[in-house]
Structure 1
């Protein structure tokens, strides 16, 4: 099978990212009459640049793992137009479960929390990417390799998904046409995902297609104004602290808690907020409290 030369889309898109972040900053001040948080944007851009640098290493690891597993594929799927269409949906489904688990397991949240750490929501927030997730989150895409999609195809589609999600990180777009909102992930849907309002927690995990959230019961429409950030915010603009603070907190909880070995392991497996003594609050607990209040 002839393997075509496919470009690194993320690297080519960097100038576009820079230009659109500047345009959005100007529009935020001129149209919304709001201050643009330069320090926050600077941290997000630093996280993005760090991610690009780290990906030079992780892409090699991922490609090596993909190529090794590809030897044991069930089918051999060619580079045809219809296979790209099929991969578009299957890769997005893999992304959905990766993203959902990142909110339901602290081990994966430790890298994903970086993306949610900004209390602002703009295009620069899309650049606030993990420095550690690339070393292990690729396991969610391994089934695609086993099915028979070539590693180059999968990596390309992963990049396309990431590029699509860039434009949805903005408050300048209210709602898209109704049919588009029903099928695709949009700024409105993704604002919900980044919000800390109890009813919005751990909702709308979509990459490109919001249909997965509708199918698997994690969809929530945007109603009240979102409040962005984390339930307990990381009060720093230091990109190194942002990148690693949750890893430190997770290991501290696991190794300093006076509990059994199996409970220590649960600090890696259970959702963020879980405590072995039952004192922690999970997102479902916060949502339940909110529902009880509005039903009073």
Structure 2
């Protein structure tokens, strides 16, 4: 937990700088692929994901350490070759877990957030799940366990393997020659994120593309078919917490409404998109039919609200960095209370971006939550001890945030004039 938090203290600002670089590069080239509202939503999703991971809010059904102890027929030392084998093993496991997420209803809920952006940029790479509570990834690492790859090697290689999937989420890099046959490139991944019929459910590879070539899921990007991004059932929100659970909610509703008991159970394990016939007839769900003619989700946001949303993002990144830097000092259960504030903040300001007239209620709940801890402890998780004057700044932020949330919630006409 603490080690991962320290890694993220370096990784978060690095990713943020790269996202901004892509934004400014696109503006300079006259091809801006990073709309501010989309970027803020994506980075907010990344914040919720890393908070969940650092706090360990998931259950590992089968750990790699257990597999290694049960299936490891060899004992090998951690040489460079072992690290290489581990990297390939992780990528093989990643291919299959990724593919399963796209092919079965019950697993899609864990992955929909990553495909929810109707843009394709570095920021959308950070749209990662908070709904994946049960982790079965280690099952696909049985070959590595049999070969005797030590658990500590997997622990080191796994974050590197994850971070290596960031760079190819861009539209600014074309095809890359012979590398197209070996690794996943931006061209390959543009296909994967596209909802064009020709591109759906293709290119599941995470680092190496030859898995797709071997298992029949490869599709090259075609010049005559420009990729269109998103999901065929549009999420219609900037709120990443809502996105994380909307498919699950649909499945629950469909299972409840289905008359046939077999369908109530069957729906969870059927191919993605399957719905009981009686439910689909009575409760249709909008699905994009023509990917070249649909309206992207883009509620009118005035410049003041857009700027304030970006300021909220910066404030939250600063507060999150404080949490990750002081995990041991804050300790449990404090870190979980702090995580609750992070989630409330994301929910509140993304609801405001959605132009929800009741967004101020979430902001009030966030402020009340924070003030409860400030009043009951006299501080905000020892902030004033680490940063003299920090508590006053934090209280000021809470008050300003609430006042502006009220203003933007009730003065919508000013937003339209400002835009």
- The C-alpha deviation readout for 1:172-230, integer Å capped at 9, x for no partner, is 11111x21111000000000000000010000000100000000000000012100000
> Contact between 1:63 and 1:151, CA under 8 Å: does it hold in 2?
no
Find the counterpart in structure 1 of residue 149 from structure 2.
149
> Contact between 1:189 and 1:204, CA under 8 Å: does it hold in 2?
yes
Q: 1:143: how far off? A: 1.6
1:64–1:212 Cα change, 3 Å? closer
What secondary structure, in the 3-state scheme, does the structure 2 residue paired with 1:235 have? Answer: coil
More relative contact order, 1 or 2 (CA 8 Å, 6+ apart): 1
Q: TM-score, normalised by structure 2?
A: 0.61
Find the counterpart in structure 1 of residue 166 from structure 2.
166
C-alpha distance in 1 between matches for 2:103 and 2:58: 28
1:275–1:32 Cα change, 3 Å? same
Q: 1:7: how far off? A: 9.5
The alignment of Structure 1 onto Structure 2 pairs a total of residues equal to: 277
Q: Give unmatched runs, 5+ long, in structure 2.
A: 281-286, 292-419
| Alignment equivalent of 1:27, drawn from 11, 25, 28 | 25
Q: 1:59: how far off? A: 7.7
Q: 1:276: how far off? A: 3.0
Find the counterpart in structure 2 of residue 229 from structure 1.
230
Structure 2 residue 80 is the aligned partner of structure 1 residue 81: yes
Q: Following superposition of structure 1 onto structure 2, how do residues 128-277 of structure 1 map, counting pairs within 5 Å?
A: 128-133=127-132, 135-144=134-143, 146-147=145-146, 148-176=148-176, 178-223=177-222, 224-261=225-262, 263-277=263-277
1:250–1:77 Cα change, 3 Å? farther
Q: Higher Cα Rg: structure 1 or 2?
A: 2
| Alignment equivalent of 2:15, drawn from 14, 17, 36 | 17
> Contact between 2:23 and 2:32, CA under 8 Å: does it hold in 1?
no
What secondary structure, in the 3-state scheme, does the structure 2 residue paired with 1:198 have? Answer: coil
Q: What is the aligned-residue RMSD (CA, Å)?
A: 2.7
1:212–1:59 Cα change, 3 Å? farther
C-alpha distance in 2 between matches for 1:7 and 1:113: 25
Worse-matched range after superposition: 59-68 or 12-21 = 59-68
What secondary structure, in the 3-state scheme, does the structure 2 residue paired with 1:185 have? Answer: coil
Find the counterpart in structure 2 of residue 58 from structure 1.
56
Find the counterpart in structure 1 of residue 105 from structure 2.
106
Q: 1:258: how far off? A: 1.4
- The C-alpha deviation readout for 1:52-72, integer Å capped at 9, x for no partner, is 111024388449833334331
1:88–1:21 Cα change, 3 Å? same
What secondary structure, in the 3-state scheme, does the structure 2 residue paired with 1:184 have? Answer: coil
1:272–1:134 Cα change, 3 Å? same
> Contact between 1:91 and 1:158, CA under 8 Å: does it hold in 2?
yes
